[in-house]
Chain A
């Protein structure tokens, strides 16, 4: 219980910290600074597993709604839940579940039960399906609802962020692999 609460709280804070960091620059994106907040969501899914990742994201959103300026660019408070990007916030818990669940499905337990292998490609694929496909589904629908635009127009508005998010999925896969190597009992 204590372990779960502490990890959930730490990951919620980690998602926040990754968003507040301006200087994470992924070199091959042409030096375009990419906020790492969705990287935090993907990592939560990969490392905590679906349910604890869900809790971490919910804690993050609760704290955000209470007024902590934890979104990239120091945004926070209830205002962010009224803006056109609210769909992405709603999609975050789902993205965390899908990423974690898919990764656990693909990574498998070899030999020791409960011990997942942190393979690179399953991590990337799970991050893409959860952190991009599932997330953008909610994000685009949310934007279409809030702005009364058609789904096609809303999709057009967010298309520019997809390449950066694919890079983040690759980075998430790499980091999860490295982290699991450094702490072999991490993905219990």
Chain B
């Protein structure tokens, strides 16, 4: 299975996924109540410590995609006359992203699926079947790398035959092949009685 699970310390992995997620939710709510660059800076330092101790320096890469956005927020607040607010905002976002990434990096996808299934339990109690949702998630996980491979194969075929660049024109046959696969998968599900009530 694919996932963002990375090298992480045993103690962080040993905490049950549900506990980590609940803690993350609580901390996220708490961070939006904190104000000012000093408490939020302290929170950032603490999360940095947890993240590096738990998952190593590789986790800091999770901050890279949002670096420009953070810089923009800082400068925009600064230009509008409140550097301290800008600093607080950047600390808050960076803390949240670091902690959330640490939870993801230290939790197996299968454990996350189990939590997801438990979160859907209230729907089951009122009689909504939740099995299709779980099956759809697992199928999407399986199909995503398959479709990416398919695209690579199709664009290789394009490049072997054309000097022009691969463009959006390839999306239509790609889409059609995916939809045909969906029909095949639907037949397979039906043949196996995936949604028969037990």
Q: Which residues of A contact B (CB under 8 A)?
A: 1-14, 16-18, 20-21, 23-27, 36, 39, 43, 47, 55, 59-60, 62-63, 65-70, 73, 75-79, 81-85, 146-150, 153, 157, 171, 174-175, 178-179, 182-183, 186
Contacts and interface: CB of A to CB of B under 8 A. Distances in A.
A134 to B, nearest CB: 21
B65 A171 contact: no
Contacts of B5: 67
B181 interface: yes
Given A68-B141, A77-B4, A1 B148 contact: no
Given A7-B186, A14-B175, A83-B93, A25 B140 contact: no
Nearest to A145: B32
Given A13-B143, A78-B101, A179-B176, A147 B183 contact: no
- Chain B interface SS verdict (over half): helix
B38 interface: no
Interface residues of B, number: 72
Contacts, number: 219
B125 interface: no
Contacts of B175: 14, 43, 47, 175, 179
B77 to A, nearest CB: 7
Nearest to B151: A21
B93 A147 contact: yes
A73 B65 contact: yes
A146 to B, nearest CB: 6
A67 B144 contact: no
A8 B37 CA distance: 44
A148 B85 contact: yes
